[in-house]
């Protein structure tokens, strides 16, 4: 994790408690068997979210003795946006009315064919995979094999905790809360 090779967008709390693994069952003694295993921190809690919205309050271990592990736990404080369902439904109805309203002799099918709805997804997504076609198998990469210098391009996250808190919301989003 420190080299950012795995779980690069995740965080974990500091280890301020004793190792959580290799206890003798039902005791507070580390491994006393002939193997004399070295105690270690094998159980972790990884979390992801903007520090503005998700804050770690406590990270520790529970002193339960039914296993050779001590379970770890974390307590978080987080901000949650609550949607007013009545306002959301009213906004949906208003948008639907705007989309389906036609002028004079205009056909709804014609109007809808000219309507562009931005779903927020990148336009360059590959087609869905099937048993006949796989997006990772191309003439440049037969059998899905990429050269060692290939670096995948990761799309932007859809995790709501990754959203920039300073970005301005659209009018329709403001109406939801």
100 three-class SS: helix
Ramachandran angles phi, psi of 104, nearest 5°: 50, -115
| Number of C-beta neighbours around residue 164 at 10 A | 8
| pLDDT for residue 167 is more than 50 | no
Alpha-carbon radius of gyration of the chain: 26
pLDDT of residue 125: 63
Query: What CA–CA distances, in Å, run from 32 to 22, 36, 37, 42, 68?
Result: 9, 6, 8, 18, 12
Quote the CA–CA distance of 110 and 164 in Å, as a whole number.
Answer: 37
Long-range contacts of 24-30 (CB under 8 A, 24+ apart): 24/68, 25/65, 25/66, 25/67, 25/68, 26/65, 26/66, 27/65, 28/65
| pLDDT for residue 174 is more than 50 | yes
| pTM: predicted TM-score of the whole model, two decimal places | 0.46
| pLDDT for residue 53 is more than 50 | yes
Q: pLDDT digits over 109-160, tens only?
A: 888 888 777 777 676 666 666 777 666 666 766 666 655 554 545 445 555 4
* Helices assigned H by DSSP within 101-133: 108-114
Q: How confident is the model at residue 45 (pLDDT cuts 50, 70, 90)?
A: very high
């Amino acid at each position: 994790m420190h080299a950012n090779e795995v779980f690069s967008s995740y965080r974990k709390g500091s280890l301020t408690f004793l190792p959580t693994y290799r206890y003798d069952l039902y005791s507070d003694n580390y491994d006393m068997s002939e193997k004399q295993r070295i105690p270690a921190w094998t159980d972790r809690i990884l979390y992801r979210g903007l520090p503005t919205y998700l804050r770690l309050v406590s990270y520790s271990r529970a002193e339960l003795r039914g296993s050779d592990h001590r379970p770890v736990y974390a307590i978080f404080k987080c901000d949650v946006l609550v949607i007013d369902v009545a306002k959301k439904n009213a906004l949906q109805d208003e948008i639907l009315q705007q989309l389906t309203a036609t002028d004079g002799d205009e056909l709804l099918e014609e109007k809808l064919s000219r309507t562009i709805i931005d779903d927020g997804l990148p336009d360059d997504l590959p087609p869905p995979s099937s048993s006949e076609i796989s997006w990772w198998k191309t003439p440049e990469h037969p059998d899905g094999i990429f050269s060692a210098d290939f670096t995948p391009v990761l799309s932007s996250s859809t995790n709501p905790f990754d959203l920039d808190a300073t970005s301005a919301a659209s009018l329709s989003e403001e109406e939801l809360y």
